[in-house]
């Protein structure tokens, strides 16, 4: 069961696209992808609720933490944008092989588990 960490500021990730891994038991794993909208406080049975929205619709989904295994944010596009803005400087100072094979491979699948 997933639970929010006290030291983590989830509001920084509101309005970002997240992927939620849900486990319904009996090896039934389902992934939901949507826009992170809110984490609600604990309910009367000590579970949190996550609310996600879906792009270009008014639909939302609320998911209780008793079925959530993991929440991920894919920041690859944002990271790659920053990488490309400094790529020429990296080439000049580090060389093609370091930039293309070490740095690029490291950041191309940048996922944060929140």
Say if CB 70 and CB 53 are below 8 A apart. Answer: no
Cα–Cα distance, 50 to 33 (Å, whole number): 12
> What pLDDT does residue 37 have?
95
Q: What confidence score (pLDDT) does residue 104 get?
A: 79
What single string gives the DSSP state of each residue in 29-96? EEEEEEEEEEEEPP-TTS--EEEEE-TTSS-EEEEETTSEEEEEEE-HHHHHHHHHHHHHHHHHHH-H
> So what's the pLDDT on residue 101?
83
- Residue 49: predicted pLDDT: 94
| pLDDT for the residue 53 | 95
The confidence score (pLDDT) of residue 39 equals: 93
pLDDT at position 6, please?
A: 85
User: What's the confidence (pLDDT) of residue 67?
Assistant: 94
The span from the CA of 71 to the CA of 63, in Å, is 11
Report the alpha-carbon distance of residue 76 to residue 22 in Å, rounded.
22
pLDDT for residue 65: 92
How many alpha carbons fall within 13 Å on the CB side of residue 23? 10
How do residues 55-78 score in pLDDT, each as one tens digit? 888 899 999 999 999 999 878 777
Domains and CATH numbers, the chain: 10-74 (2.30.30.100), 76-113 (no CATH)
Residues of the chain with pLDDT below 50 are: none
Q: What local confidence, expressed as pLDDT, does residue 38 receive?
A: 94
CA 111 vs. chain centroid, Å, equals 6
Write down the pLDDT at residue 81: 81
């Amino acid at each position: 069961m997933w639970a929010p960490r006290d030291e983590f500021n989830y509001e920084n990730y509101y309005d970002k696209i997240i992927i939620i891994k849900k486990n319904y038991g009996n090896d039934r794993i389902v992934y939901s992808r949507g826009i992170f909208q809110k984490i609600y406080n604990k309910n009367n049975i000590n579970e949190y609720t996550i609310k996600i929205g879906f792009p270009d619709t008014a639909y939302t989904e609320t998911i209780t933490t008793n079925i959530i295994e993991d929440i991920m944010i894919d920041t690859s596009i944002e990271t790659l944008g920053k990488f490309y803005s400094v790529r020429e400087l990296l080439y000049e100072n580090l060389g093609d092989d370091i930039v293309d094979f070490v740095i690029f491979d490291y950041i191309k699948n940048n996922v944060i588990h929140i």
